[in-house]
Amino acid sequence: MNFTDPWTTFRGLKGFPHVVYTAMTFGDWNTMVVTDRLLDFSKLVGFEGMVNQGTRYCSYTPKVEHRTWDESFKKVYEQLNRFVPVRDKYKDRRLTSLQWGQDEWKLFYAFNFMRKKVTPILRRIKVRYETYTKWMETLQDHCTIHTGFYPGGYKNYLSHCFLFFTDYEESVKSLFSLLPTTSFVMELDKQLLVFTHVTSSDVKRNLICLIYDMKTKKMIKWFRQAVALFHSQYIPERGG
Q: H or E stretch including 105?
A: helix 102-110
Please check whether residue 3 is in contact with residue 26, taking contact to mean a CB–CB distance below 8 angstroms: no
Domain span(s) for CATH 3.30.70 in the chain = 59-84+147-227
Q: Record the pTM.
A: 0.84
Give me the pLDDT at residue 197, please: 94
119: exposed, middle or buried (Cβ count in 10 Å: 0-12, 13-18, 19+): exposed
Percentage above 90 pLDDT, the chain: 67
Whether residue 225 is predicted with pLDDT greater than 90 in this model: the reply is yes
How far apart are alpha carbons 179 and 234 in whole angstroms? 29
Nearest to 74 by CA among 218, 175, 202, 2: 175
What lies within 8 Å, CB to CB, of 94 at 6+ separation is 57
Percentage above 70 pLDDT, the chain: 94
Beta carbons within 10 angstroms of residue 225's beta carbon: 18
Instruction: Tell me which of 156 and 226 has the higher pLDDT.
Output: 226
Q: H or E stretch including 115?
A: none
Give me the pLDDT at residue 194, please: 97
Instruction: Tell me which of 90 and 92 has the higher pLDDT.
Output: 92
Whether residue 72 is predicted with pLDDT greater than 90 in this model: the reply is yes
For 223, phi and psi rounded to 5 degrees?
Answer: -155, 160
How far apart are alpha carbons 172 and 23 in whole angstroms? 24
Q: Which residues pair with 2 in a beta bridge?
A: 49
Per-chain mean pLDDT for the chain = 90
Average pLDDT value for residue range 204-231? 95
Q: Which residues pair with 185 in a beta bridge?
A: 60, 194
Beta carbons within 10 angstroms of residue 198's beta carbon: 20
Query: pLDDT of 46-61, one tens digit each?
Result: 999 999 998 998 899 9
Whether residue 140 is predicted with pLDDT greater than 90 in this model: the reply is no
| CA 206 to mean position of chain CA atoms | 22
Beta carbons within 10 angstroms of residue 106's beta carbon: 25
Give me the pLDDT at residue 240, please: 40
Give me the pLDDT at residue 171, please: 94
Whether residue 239 is predicted with pLDDT greater than 50 in this model: the reply is no
**Domain spanning 59-84+147-227, CATH class:** alpha beta
Instruction: Tell me which of 28 and 15 has the higher pLDDT.
Output: 28
Give strand ranges (E) for 71-139.
none
